[in-house]
A = this chain, B = another copy of it.
Amino acid sequence: MSKSLIKWTVGTLAFSMSAVSAQAELPSQQQEQAPGWFRMMVGEYEVTALYDGQTTIDTSLLKGMEQDEILRHLNTLFIDAESGMQTAVNAFLIHTGENLVLVDAGSAACFGPTLGQVESNLRASGYSPDEVDTVLMTHLHPDHVCGLADENGEAVYPQAELRASQADADFWLDEERAAAAPEGNQAFFEMAQNAVAPYQASGRFKPFTAGDEVLMGIVAHDTHGHTAGHTSFMLNSDDDAMLVWGDVVHSYGVQFADPTVAIEFDSDPEQAIRTRESVLESAVEDKHWIAGAHMPFPGIGHIVKEEEGYRWLPVEFGPIATDD
């Protein structure tokens, strides 16, 4: 048989096969979620939300509202609280034109397999960890700090300066305070210290003070209460502004309706409430963007005042709108 005849036969066979199976073949359900990143411009700054994953928070951790009222609020908003409220963990990557800045680093392996995706989503979004030159921390809780170091204790962002507020560093990195803490809280100190260690060792850990312009166009706002040095970062570019607020709100279903509800993890609940009230009022007045670590991914939106409480208006998905 000549080579061309073989080709012809194979061609015919392929044709009749496809004629026989002229019906779609049903694949399995894919059951994979889309990659967890989202991008937008704030003036000339490019902001990328990075999804670390989600965890569940038991409603009993919310303080200052009866459980049945909490459930009524959640129910109205179709938030299923039966096995805890689904709570996102988001980090934010900001390309200012001069710097590539990560705000918070996610949970890595500190809270199990439903979290720890900041690094992979940063890569999926088109960047590489060694391109990050600055990491800003809103505070040193493990769901923000653990992603700084890998399982060998090496820096995940090997070229970056790490910056946290002096007040949070004084608290979480103090070995005496750690030793004196209740046993259940000691892991939090240890996680913070392990995550910060490689940056300290290479001389790249540089605390800031509230009020500092940590980078051009990025100012550290004092929003303490949730932790001693909890910080929000205000970005300003052209006429646009965004407050990367960290943990000002944990439960959008309850704390927008009533900002006086605190959460178990607040180190100073009364101050955390005052901070939340004042940050929400400013956001309504100034109409700037909010980027929240625990708001539903991508965690970006605006806030409007309601007759009672506030309302969250999530950003709309769309193409990147540049001024060019």
Contacts and interface: CB of A to CB of B under 8 A. Distances in A.
Nearest to A303: B78
A100 B24 CA distance: 9
Interface in A306-324: 313-314, 316-320, 322
A86 interface: yes
Given A78-B287, A133-B23, A32 B159 contact: no
A319 B39 contact: no
A265 interface: no
A316 B86 contact: yes
A10 interface: no
A303 to B, nearest CB: 10
B88 A24 contact: no
Interface string A7-25: 0000000000000001111
A182 interface: no
Interface residues of A, number: 59
B35 A39 contact: no
Main secondary structure of the interface of A (DSSP, over half): loop
B133 A26 contact: yes
A4 interface: no
Contacts of A35: 34-35
Query: Taking the full assembly, how many copies of this chain does it contain?
Result: 2
Specify which of A26, A35, A160 lies most central, judged by the most chain B CB atoms within 10 Å of its CB.
A26
Interface in A115-146: 125-128, 130-133
A2 interface: no
Most buried by B among A32, A38, A99: A32
A173 B128 CA distance: 52
A25 B127 CA distance: 11
A182 to B, nearest CB: 32
11 contacts: A26-B133, A31-B320, A32-B39, A32-B126, A33-B38, A33-B318, A34-B35, A54-B318, A77-B304, A78-B287, A86-B318
Give me the 3 closest cross-chain CB pairs, A-B, nearest first: A24-B159, A30-B126, A24-B133
